[in-house]
Chain A
């Protein structure tokens, strides 16, 4: 199969590569760019584990081809917080409220929560539950996840007012 040259900016680093047009964006990120923080748990667009930010929008990287991301700017879990720097409020909330156990669904939840909170900075619990209902977790029963997002909103508000 003929390959196509693409260039994608991921976490502020430029990745160029030749990919088959059929290669999914998720596989490109994981295999070609060796950013394995993005996880694949269903590969049919239901579980949300592979969610990334593409030009700021939360998308499922298993449902896109890498060639569709040519020229785009992506953020994956690895790129949310600066290396060695402080965690984001969402990551902090997940840590404080036991929002993860095995950690496999976590990349998708954390990325989705970032996108959600950007659009809903002061959400109700009901809005959080609806906003994150497209991501599946099998470990936590979502208890810590919902609270983590509430906490992240709180930290963000504190940061803004501080």
Chain B
């Protein structure tokens, strides 16, 4: 286990610093998208298709337009032409993609497909009018169901004569087949994961303001990445990028759903330009559950070869994803990512894979906290299946396969290079914390009393801070103002991530100033340098890294100037709590604020050649990935009479490198675990066979509550990464690891009944059905 190297002067990094965001959010003074009000602002709502697949025969706007207060109503044929390009296009060789327009035109392709936009003086009037828009549909055969889509005689899209959106496989590998042939056991199982929705508590929304005089589009977005939004609106609206400004203030969660700007948001921006007035759109929860991006909806079949001791010899993985009608990312992404990350924390040499994605007439798939996490679901449930089958303890089988420190550096069969990781340590730490042996004794006693307790383990390596393309770099401008107060300008898009606290911790440490003297400004493309935003567990690594680089650069200038003023060498100075002192000579000092004032107002006192002012901008290009690792262990009791699963204890052993703020780290883990609990036990955005969504209220789409999420305990292992500051990402791990741990715990509890658990959610009705099936088998 590595120890943390902390800079000797560090006071804030590593500490549980309370959040700078909290006072305003706790007093009702946050600025979320629906809190934005501009003079002359109009309100938009959408007419949506009630059918999954149909021809639009006619649209009658007459009654709707007659509602007092209605300003405009446009359908696709009236508005779509205003866009300069398709909204997004992931077509490639062998990967067809539909033309994505703001509004449906000619036909509809999922229930919730936006058919017309209604603009009115307030939302009540807009919704009145939307009710009166009369759309005549001719129903068509809908393509519904991941496993039915390929063979369906229907087509999800006009103009694409297949429902297969992507299909690929690794080359035939005789060595792989030889490894299977030589294995003592070869076990095959298929694991299924239902459709989820990210469900940020703040639904999607946008205020677009076309300013005629400036010929500028200003967009207030509920987003994760304002600079990418700026590029998006510039492209789609046919505007030069410097005539678009995107502002995001407080954002009520995203979890991947708000990475990409969507069709409705685009329609609102187009409408604002037509009208020359600000237009606001705030979706309601039903729209969010029905028509905002969905996630997961996938399955993976694993074929695993092990030797007589349970050591893995070969794995073949095959993945199938339903990407809906208009996926927000390339159709290959869920499958390709999952297949590529699958080797995870285990040593084995032979690996083969196959992946396929299908279009269906359902809402499109997008990123959701660990969008590749099917690999952990399948691999970790499979480890328990194998352990049970060959009679090895589930903790022991992981010990026999997990990558040890002496194996490092280690390259996975898919070419991922691990160096500074500790999966064996986090595994042991989590097992020890939960009291593995003691639980086994308790479980045995409970079984003797007819109670069903179980324990589940999930071990994984999380690629964090993936750095390529628009998310490859991050920038920080650190600016000491003339009074000595510090503004930090970054292209991050914090939406609950506490960056206003953590980035400030990093900078305050390096500049040696009180934390109250530093403030982060983010989320405004007119203020911040380009940054990739907040997604992919990248902020601690890339943003934290560049905040540190930029602050160190500025510290050097501060010290050079201070040394000149104090007639001392810069190397002999230290900054502490806003005062620069010659080491060992406490009498020889100067206030940080005085140095700042002189830097701006008294250029004659600067060393020769020094530029006035105190400001530094740095950009940092991170490694392609920075690996965190974790093991989650939980225990549960299953009531075999009611099917209820109750989680009893929950432990996360985590190595995310040097923690900037352990309180924030644990908050990120807990939130992810809760989402994983929801996915494992409760959440299911189901469709019926006609493509009608069945869970579009919170009475049907069940989120975990205070009574579903147990107290979570953490064990931190800190192996510094090789990035500046030594941080690793931690945003997604909780959600990646939780479902497999919970499924394994339930399967362990029900093992005496012969129940095999391979799908979610483990709702009471499904648990009872599994028990019944096992009993009648």
Kindly state whether residue A137 has any CB partner on chain B within 8 Å: yes
Contact B707 A95 (CB under 8 A): no
B574 near A: Cβ within 8 Å? no
A51 within 8 A of B: no
Q: Given A77-B27, A136-B703, does the pair A39, B697 have CB atoms closer than 8 Å?
A: no
* Complex CA–CA separation, A40 to B25 (angstroms): 15
Looking at B18, B26, B34, the one whose CB has the most chain A CB atoms below 10 A away is: B26
Our pick among B202, B251, B496 for the contact of A39 (Cβ within 8 Å) is: B202
| B707 contacts across to A, CB distance below 8 A | 129-130, 133
Beta-carbon contact of B26 and A106 below 8 Å = yes
- Please state if B674 and A103 are interface contacts (CB–CB under 8 Å): no
- Report if A44-B203 is in contact (Cβ < 8 Å); known contacts: A91-B26, A95-B23, A139-B253: no
Of B233-241, B616-624, B634-642, B662-670, the one contacting chain A is: B662-670
Given A41-B201, A44-B698, A104-B202, does the pair A133, B706 have CB atoms closer than 8 Å? yes
Interface pair A101/B201, CB less than 8 Å apart: no
Question: Are the CB atoms of A96 and B18 closer together than 8 Å?
Answer: yes
Is residue A42 contacting chain B, with contact meaning CB distance below 8 A? yes
A103 to B498, CA, bound (A): 11
Chain A residues within an 8 Å CB radius of B496: 101-103, 139
> Which B712-727 residues sit within 8 Å CB-CB of chain A?
712
Q: Establish whether residues A46 and B698, one from each chain, have CB atoms under 8 Å apart when the complex forms.
A: yes
Which B residues between 419 and 478 are near A, CB-CB below 8 angstroms? Answer: none
The number of residues on chain B lying at the interface, defined by a beta carbon within 8 Å of a beta carbon of chain A, is: 55
Distance in angstroms from B534 CB to nearest chain A CB is 11
Residues of A within 8 A of B21 (CB): 103
A43 to B498, CA, bound (A): 27
Give the dominant DSSP class at A's interface. loop
Q: Is the CB of B709 within 8 A of A95?
A: no
Closest chain-B Cβ to A90's Cβ sits at a distance in Å of: 9
Q: Return the chain B residue nearest A97 by Cβ.
A: B663
Interface presence of A120 (CB below 8 A) = no
Cβ of B775 under 8 Å from chain A: no
Interface residues of B in 22-37 (CB under 8 A from A): 22-23, 25-30, 32, 34-35, 37
Query: How near does chain A come to B127, taking the closest CB pair, in angstroms?
Result: 11
A53 sits at the interface (CB 8 A)? no
Contacting residue for A100 out of B26, B203, B709, CB 8 A: B26
Inter-chain CA distance A7–B267, complex, in Å, is: 38
CA distance A80 to B699 in the complex (A): 30
CB distance from B654 to the nearest CB of A (A): 14
With beta carbons under 8 angstroms apart, the residue of B23, B252, B664 that contacts A102 is B252
Residue of B18, B124, B667, B674 touching A20 (CB-CB under 8 A): B124
User: Which chain A residue shows the least CB distance to B122?
Assistant: A31
Tell me whether B675 is interfacial, beta carbon within 8 Å: yes
Q: A140 an interface residue at 8 Å Cβ cutoff?
A: yes
A20-B124, A78-B28 as given contacts; A143 in contact with B712, CB under 8 Å: yes
Tell me which residues from 124 to 162 in chain A have a Cβ below 8 Å from any Cβ of chain B.
128-130, 132-146
Chain B residues whose CB sits within 8 angstroms of the CB of A35 once the complex forms: 28
The answer to the question of A110 belonging to the interface, with a C-beta cut-off of 8 Å to chain B, is yes
With A46-B697, A138-B200 already in contact, the answer to whether A128 and B706 are too (CB < 8 A) is: yes
- A144 with B667: in contact, given A41-B285, A102-B252, A138-B199 (CB under 8 Å)? yes
Give the residues in chain B near A87, CB-CB below 8 Å.
23, 26-27
Q: How far is the CA of A23 from the CA of B125 in the complex (A)?
A: 11
Give, as a whole number of angstroms, the nearest-CB distance from A94 to chain B. 6
Interface residues in A21-61 (C-beta closer than 8 Å to B): 22-23, 30, 34-44, 46-47, 49
Residue from the list B199, B285, B672 in contact with A44, Cβ < 8 A: B285
With A38-B28, A81-B27, A129-B706 as given contacts, are A141 and B22 in contact (CB-CB < 8 Å)? Answer: no
Given A41-B252, A102-B496, A140-B670, answer yes or no on A36-B34 (Cβ-Cβ < 8 Å).
yes
Within 8 Å of chain B (Cβ to Cβ): is A105? yes
**52-83 of chain A: CB within 8 A of chain B:** 76-78, 80-81
Q: How far is the CA of A100 from the CA of B734 in the complex (A)?
A: 17
Q: Which residue of A lies closest to B37 (CB)?
A: A34
Residue of A nearest to B705 (CB): A133
Q: Which residues of A contact B30 (CB under 8 A)?
A: 37, 103
Central interface residue in B23, B37, B199, B252, by most chain A CB within 10 Å: B252
Of B19, B28, B285, B663, which is within 8 A of A76 by CB? B28
Residues 661-704 of chain B: 1 if any A CB is under 8 Å from the residue's CB, otherwise 0?
Answer: 00110110011111101000000000000000000011100011
* Contacts A94-B22, A138-B671, A143-B666 given; does A77 touch B28 at CB 8 Å: yes
Contact among B18, B253, B497, B664 for A104, CB-based, below 8 A: B253
**Beta-carbon contact of B706 and A103 below 8 Å:** no
Q: Is A98 an interface residue (CB 8 A)?
A: yes
Q: Tell me which residues across on chain B come within 8 A of A137, comparing CB atoms.
A: 201
- A143 x B253 contact (CB < 8 A): no
B157 in the interface (beta carbon within 8 A): no
Query: Closest B-chain residue to A101, C-beta based?
Result: B496
Known: A138-B201, A141-B673. A102 touches B26 (CB 8 A): no
| CB <8 Å contact, A95 and B22 | yes
Whether B18 lies near A37 (C-beta < 8 A) is: no
Query: Smallest CB-CB separation from A144: which chain B residue?
Result: B667
Residue from A95, A133, A143 within 8 A of B667 (CB atoms) = A143
Cross-interface CB contact of B664 among A22, A78, A98, cutoff 8 Å: A98
- The smallest beta-carbon distance between A142 and chain B, in angstroms, is 5
The distance in angstroms between the C-alpha atoms of A143 and B29, with both chains bound, is 24
Does B667 contact A107, Cβ atoms closer than 8 Å? no
Minimal Cβ-Cβ distance residue in B for A134: B705
> Contact string, B24-64, partner A, CB cutoff 8 A, digits 1/0?
01111110101101000000000000000000000000000
B184-219 to A contact mask, C-beta < 8 Å, 1/0 = 000000000000000111110000000000000000
Chain B interfacial positions (CB closer than 8 Å to A):
18-19, 21-23, 25-30, 32, 34-35, 37, 124, 199-203, 250-253, 255, 284-285, 495-498, 663-664, 666-667, 670-675, 677, 697-699, 703-707, 709, 711-712, 734
Q: List 14 A-B contacts (CB under 8 A).
A: A40-B34, A43-B284, A47-B698, A100-B25, A102-B202, A104-B32, A104-B201, A106-B26, A130-B706, A138-B201, A139-B496, A140-B667, A140-B670, A141-B734
Q: A34-B37, A107-B28, A139-B201 are in contact. List 16 more A-B contacts (CB 8 A).
A: A95-B22, A96-B18, A98-B663, A102-B496, A106-B25, A129-B706, A130-B707, A133-B707, A136-B703, A140-B667, A141-B674, A141-B709, A142-B674, A142-B706, A143-B667, A143-B711
Please give me the 6 A-B residue pairs with the lowest Cβ-Cβ distance, nearest first.
A37-B28, A104-B252, A102-B496, A103-B25, A141-B674, A141-B670
